[in-house]
């Protein structure tokens, strides 16, 4: 597995912290998932009051923290939020979200590249939430990003991998870059598929937080990601249009 800005993840699952029915369920789901990274939103969790108790709970999980700029629509908003997050969460990591389309929550890739360049020059280690576009990927890497996080489908949609062809092409185009499928995961099979394509991690939130049983779904996601990773490492067979007999003809007995 590839490292993320020099950090090796013990588990390729990154799990969000929003929308859980209660803090206790969030904590239990995290522990059952084995996730090694928690994504947190500065806009949702303040630094004081209830936000302070939330932050203490996340710290007690002993996982890596990936603050995000969720809800930002301009470069200025994203950069300001990133600087505040670095102060609150004491990390150079930032998941850079810059939303360009209200309904689909598709990232504004033009502003994304601009903000990524500013933040990397300011010493941040940027995890950009992007599309599966190869040119955008090249621009983000040129801006200083060392990780790419293409979406699987719109945030919270649960549709899985809308464009496996493009995700496969991105993996082939950037073989040495850590890649994370971020957003759109709804089922364990979706997470497994991402790992089977050779991705290095999966980031999800809604699929666990909004499940009828978040703790059980967290366990299922952990198992699926492990299965997908093992399948990729096992070098699976290619799909075929025609059947291929598992029993060879040569050496088969013929009765006259």
Residues annotated as part of the active site:
95
The alpha-helical segments, DSSP class H, found in 156-213 are: 164-173, 188-196, 206-209
Question: Under a CB-based contact definition with an 8 Å cutoff, are residues 36 and 64 in contact?
Answer: yes
User: In angstroms, what CA-CA distances link 95 with 7, 193, 199, 229, 238?
Assistant: 15, 23, 17, 23, 34
Sheet containing strand 201-204, strands side by side: 149-150, 125-130, 93-96, 64-68, 37-41, 13-16, 201-204, 180-182
- The DSSP secondary structure of 12-38, one letter per residue, reads SEEEE-SS-S-HHHHHHHHHHHT-SEE
The H-assigned helical ranges of the chain are 23-33, 50-61, 75-89, 109-121, 134-142, 164-173, 188-196, 206-209, 214-233
Q: Distance (Å, rounded) from C-alpha 150 to C-alpha 44?
A: 23
* Residues 187 and 208 sit within 8 Å (Cβ to Cβ): no
- Give residue 45's Cα distance to chain centre: 20
């Amino acid at each position: 597995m590839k490292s993320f800005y020099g950090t090796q993840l013990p588990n390729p699952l990154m799990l969000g912290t929003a929308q859980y029915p209660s803090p206790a369920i969030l904590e239990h789901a995290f522990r059952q998932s084995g996730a090694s990274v928690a994504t947190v939103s500065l806009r949702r969790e303040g630094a004081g009051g209830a936000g302070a108790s939330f932050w203490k709970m996340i710290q007690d999980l002993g996982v890596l923290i990936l603050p995000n700029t969720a809800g930002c629509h301009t470069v200025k908003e994203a950069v300001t939020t990133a600087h505040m997050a670095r102060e609150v969460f004491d990390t150079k990591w930032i998941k850079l979200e810059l939303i360009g389309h209200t309904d689909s929550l598709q990232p504004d890739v033009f502003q994304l590249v601009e903000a990524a360049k500013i933040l990397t020059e300011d010493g941040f280690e940027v995890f950009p939430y992007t599309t599966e576009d190869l040119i955008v990927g090249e621009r983000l890497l040129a801006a200083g990003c060392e990780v790419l996080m293409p979406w699987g489908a719109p945030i919270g949609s649960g549709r899985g991998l809308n464009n496996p062809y493009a995700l496969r092409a991105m993996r082939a185009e950037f073989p040495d870059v850590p890649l994370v499928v971020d957003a759109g995961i709804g089922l364990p099979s979706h997470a497994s598929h991402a790992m089977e394509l050779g991705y290095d991690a999966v980031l999800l939130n809604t699929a666990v937080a909004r499940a009828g049983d978040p703790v059980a779904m967290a366990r299922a996601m952990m198992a699926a990601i492990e299965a997908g990773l093992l399948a990729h490492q096992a070098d699976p067979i290619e799909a075929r249009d025609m059947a291929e007999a598992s029993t060879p003809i040569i050496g088969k007995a013929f009765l006259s």
